[in-house]
Amino acid sequence: MPFWQKLVITVVAMLATSFVVGLIWANLLGFALPSYVAGMIGGLTALPIWEFLRRVGPRRAKPEAQTWS
């Protein structure tokens, strides 16, 4: 998967998570989620998403080991 696709998926996941958590927070507590908390939640979401996308990508062939005679 190209870098730009991983980046787009990660950013969309960050924004969606921050938005959903903000809605839940507002419905439960009655006031808006502070922006720094939403950013922290989005950033913490990005880490596992990025690692997941890195592991799911196609496997690269390992170079053959060189033998020295």
Query: Can you give the pLDDT at residue 59?
Result: 67
Tens digit of pLDDT for each residue in 10-25?
999 999 999 999 899 9
CA pseudo-torsion sign 27, 31, 32, 38: negative
pTM for the model: 0.72
Q: Give the span between the Cα atoms of 40 and 50, in whole angstroms.
A: 16
The token duo for 54 is 């890195």
Delimit the domains of the chain by residue range: 3-56
Query: Can you give the pLDDT at residue 45?
Result: 92
Above pLDDT 70, what percent of the chain?
83
Query: Can you give the pLDDT at residue 33?
Result: 85
